[in-house]
Every structure is written in structure tokens, then in C-alpha cells.
Amino acid sequence: MSAPLHGMRVLDLSQQLPGPYATLLLAALGAEVTKIEPPAGDAARHLDPEMFENANAGKTSVVLDLKTDEDRRRLHELVRGHDVFVEGFRPGVAARLGCDAETLHAIRPRLVYCSISGAGQTGPLARHPTHDISLQAMAGVLTDGGDVTRIGVPWVDLATGSSAALAITAAWHAGEGCHLDLSMLDAAVAWARVKPSALEPGPEPTYGTLRTADGGRVVIALLEDAMWARLCVALGWTDWATEPGLAAYGDRRRRGAEIRDRLERDVARLTVAEVVALAEKHDLPLGPADATADPAAREQIGLRFPADGGPSCLPLPAALLRPLAPAPPRR
């Protein structure tokens, strides 16, 4: 893949995941990213070292203490030679540290200044501390009653970073200075509204995980009407196969609990291997819930994300092969 962002120079003061993921995408597309860390380092270095390494691969790290006049001057000098500035502070903090948009635009008017925050720069929650799951709650995606006891894939963080990278790229190509106000709340609400039916109560009839007779789990992702017909054949549901009231997805959604109950009972009589065999025979989106060891899945992932950093659908693999340069020692 060519480097479409070759020539873009980025200063990244953000920590944890949304901002660093945004600049990881920029770096993977050819931008030169310098990560500015406080003397204690990015909090993710200690909270989640593996995530830190992955999200900051391919960047150069510099330590600055912006509570000192000397290091604020050093930052201002760096800004003169950079095109993009990313910060992830709560509103008001950047101004106290002398790196707010107004101050830096006075130094470099064409700077693309991107603020990434929990809820935006203004409003009653602007200064409120928040994390990924907090924004999921505001977007209404935790209303199904299930308890969450661990950090899974932080999709709000990653959605925010992806949106920020896209906005930064567009602004950089426009060639004019600007202040981008990106928030995690934006991403959470926007993504939740793409599929509002996902927020409706009750189970999806044929979507999710199911228990099998041998104590395993399988995952089903079946929405299309034609696949519903094939599922009925596979499980011997002759009564439902020809029922007009279940032929359309919307009708099945209204009878979700009934369908789900029958599906769980029938799958519970089969082993994982038997479910996989049915899926192969009837061309159904059914398979092991943990497919990480599946040879076909591993081969497919290897094709999409070559270990040697070769051409890929996303530029991340090559970037991840380049480790973050260690932060220099403090003077």
C-alpha cells in the first residue's frame, strides 16, 4: 500500500486509546507521529502495557513537562514544524498547559487541531470523567439487563479514534487550520442510531451464542429470509418452514422469544461438531463461538493481515511491526 499521508507531521498528546488509535491509523497511512508524554508517561503504559504497545507502534515518543515554562516553549517550537495536533484532555486543561487551539493557531495558523474528549468541549457533562462503557450507557446500548463484568472490545474508543483519523485526514487535505471537537459520546450515539432496532428489548431470534450438548458454545448470525428457510430445513422445523407469519425478518423479530426458545432447545441436543456439520450442509452462518483455533479462520486472517506487513485491507499490520521508540530519559 502506498503512503497517502506521506508528509503529514503529527503531534499527539493524547493517552489511553481513542487519540492514540487515531494517530496509529494516521501513522499506518504514512504520517510521521510524535507522541508527547508527561514525565509519568501515558497512563496506558501501566494500566494496559499490551494495548499501549499496539496503539503506539510506529511513533516516536518525547517527554515534556508542560507544567514548566521551558517545556511549553519546546512544545511551541515543535508545533511550528507540524501539521496536526491531537489532545485528549478534559476541557480547560489544554489552556492551562499552554497548548489550547487559540494559542497554537497563533503559532501555526494552518494547524489541524483535534480535541478528543468524553462528551465534547461544552455542555453539562463536558468535564465529567468517563470511559467507554459510560458512553455506551448514555447511548442506550446497555439496556438489555445483562451484567457487564469485564472490559471487552472498547468499541466506543475505537469508533472515536477512527472518526478522528478520518476528520483529521479530510481537514489536512483541505489545507486550512481548524479545531475539530471530537467526542466519544458522538461516536457512541451515532453508531447506536445506525441500527436503532438493536436497542429494542427482547432477544434477536437467530443471532447470538447458543449452548451445545457437549458443553460448548456456537454463534449464529442469521437475519436473511432465505437463510431462515434453510435453518428450518436443517433443524426439521417443517411447521415453521412454510408459515407466512415467519417468512419476513420483521415478523420473526416480533416473535423473537418464541423462536429463540425453540432454537436453544434444539441446539442444546447437538454437539459443536454436529452444528458445524449442519452449517456446512445447509450453508448457514453457524460456527464455534471460539473460532480462534479453527484452521480456516486462521488462514483467512493470515491472508488479510500478512505477518510480514505486506498488502492488507487495513494498513495496521505493517504499523504494528514497528515498535514505539522508547521515551528519552528526563533531563
Neighbours of 109 (CB within 10 A): 9
Q: Which three cell numbers stand for residue 23?
A: 494517530
Whether residue 71 lies in the annotated active site: no
Listing DSSP states for 258-325 in one string gives: HHHHHHHHHHTTS-HHHHHHHHHHHT-SEEES--TT-HHHHHHHHHHS-TT--S-SSSHHHHHTSPPP
Query: What is the sign, positive or negative, of the torsion defined by CA atoms of 109, 160, 131, 143?
Result: positive
Residues 6+ positions from 185 with CB-CB distance below 8 Å: 118, 119, 120, 125, 135, 138, 139
Report d(CA 246, CA 72) in Å as an integer. 65
CA distance 181 to 192: 20
Q: Collapse the DSSP code of 108 into the 3-class scheme (helix H, G, I; strand E, B; otherwise coil) and give the result.
A: coil
Per annotation, catalytic residue among 12, 83, 157, 186: 157
Cite the active site residues.
157
